[in-house]
Amino acid sequence: MTAKATVLCGAVILLAGCEGRQSALSPAGEDAAQLKFLFLVMLAGAVVLWLALNGIFYYVTRRQPKAFRLKHPDRLILGAGVIFPTVLIGALLVWGLSIMPQQRASGDGLTIRIKAEEWWWRVEYWPEGATQPVIAANEVRLPTGSRSELRLTANLYIHSLWIPALGGKMDMIPGRETVLTLHPEKPGIYRGQCAEFCGASHALMAFETVVMPPEEFADWLQAEAAPARPAADPAGEALFRDEGCGACHAVRGTDFTGQTGPDLTHLASRASLAAGIMQVTRDDLKRWIAHTGDIKPEVAMPAYDWLSDAQLDQLATYLEGLK
């Protein structure tokens, strides 16, 4: 392979990592834009330093191959080895510290409490002045134009919440509460992920972040606070009850009040299923119910693989009506 072909292949491989659903180089919020700029400045500095060192190496080995001696080598060591990196790193530190207060600024209205479970997300919305939360799961919705405060904790293991398009990572620690604030600017759906290895299904612990204009968010939050619609097909609701699903899952407006698993009140209105790894479709609902452990190892929910296809259809119909 020629040198040009090698360079071209390498460039293609590198560029493939610059875009994607979880790219930090496509910011949709103020915090992520600051982090991207910081990264680009550091990258540019690293490239300049790399080129300078390789230029010196090329000059010494190719242009001036004979040994040479400096009259004052200590000055070179002091200047290039002490003063230059101290000034450069010091300037970068001061600049980095200057943006930290904004990265840690307090929210200005909405508070969202998120608890990392095994392996899903428990979500509570606390609008300003609220006395009761609006409960959801496995999805985060944020309004544009304001700074929302995410208060984070975890159940058993250390997790880390990261929405690359909106901001940096923040650890979620059992028994402690950490705070991350985000200021989204562009409406859209952005993927979030657990960024700390947390067990067998770590890679399958994701979620969608839906950023909405303030008016749409207010309407959604009001609808999310409402109880579930009455079941259009009583057979599916009866099967949900008979199989004990309500012992782990809550559906507001019914006698299903379980707290072990995700709240399912408005499941069919969410952007994804099973913590960001499936779609809310009839086929995926049936597959998740019947083969839970095969899809997400070590999850607490048992696989209902003894149910007939007709029964799975009834359950899927009931769940599809939870909007």
Q: Each residue's pLDDT tens digit in the chain (323 positions)?
A: 566 666 566 555 555 555 667 888 889 999 999 889 888 988 888 898 889 888 888 877 776 666 666 677 777 778 877 888 888 888 888 887 877 776 677 778 899 999 999 999 999 999 888 889 999 999 999 999 899 999 999 999 999 999 999 999 999 999 999 999 999 999 999 999 999 999 999 999 999 999 999 999 999 999 999 999 998 889 999 999 999 999 999 999 999 999 999 999 999 999 999 999 999 999 999 999 999 999 999 999 999 999 999 999 999 999 999 98
Q: Is 92 a domain residue? A: no
Q: Do both 183 and 258 map to the same domain?
A: no
Q: Which two tokens stand for residue 36?
A: 């991207």
Q: Do both 41 and 181 map to the same domain?
A: yes
Q: Do both 209 and 274 map to the same domain?
A: no
Q: Do both 159 and 243 map to the same domain?
A: no
Show which of 199, 225, 251 is a domain's final residue.
225
Q: Do both 207 and 140 map to the same domain?
A: yes
Q: Do both 154 and 217 map to the same domain?
A: yes
Q: Is 74 a domain residue? A: no
DSSP per-residue codes, 131-170:
SSPEEEESEEEEETTS-EEEEEEESSS-EEEE-TTT---E
Q: Do both 179 and 206 map to the same domain?
A: yes
Q: Do both 131 and 197 map to the same domain?
A: yes
Q: Which two tokens stand for residue 179?
A: 């705070």
What pLDDT is attached to residue 269?
Answer: 95
Domain count, the chain: 2
260 is in which domain, residue-wise? Answer: 234-320
Show which of 225, 246, 267 is a domain's final residue.
225
Q: Which two tokens stand for residue 160?
A: 């880390």
Q: Is 75 a domain residue? A: no
Omega before 288 within 30 of 0, i.e. cis: no
Q: Across the beta sheet with 111-116, what order do the strands follow?
A: 134-137, 121-126, 111-116, 148-154, 178-182
For residue 79, count other CB atoms closer than 10 A to its CB.
10
pTM of the model: 0.84
Q: Is 253 a domain residue? A: yes
In the chain the beta strands, taken as DSSP E runs, fall at 111-116, 121-126, 134-137, 139-143, 148-154, 159-162, 170-172, 178-182, 188-194, 206-212, 250-251, 256-257
Q: Is 1 a domain residue? A: no
Q: Do both 173 and 132 map to the same domain?
A: yes
Q: Is 4 a domain residue? A: no
CATH number, residue 242: 2.60.40.420
What pLDDT is attached to residue 159?
Answer: 97
What pLDDT is attached to residue 2?
Answer: 66
Q: Is 17 a domain residue? A: no
Length of the chain: 323
Q: Do both 115 and 254 map to the same domain?
A: no
Q: Do both 239 and 171 map to the same domain?
A: no
196: phi then psi, degrees, rounded to nearest 5: -130, 125
What pLDDT is attached to residue 200?
Answer: 93
Q: Is 87 a domain residue? A: no
Show which of 225, 258, 280 is a domain's final residue.
225
Q: Do both 63 and 165 map to the same domain?
A: yes
Per the CB < 8 A criterion, the answer to whether 35 and 167 are in contact is yes
What pLDDT is attached to residue 1?
Answer: 54
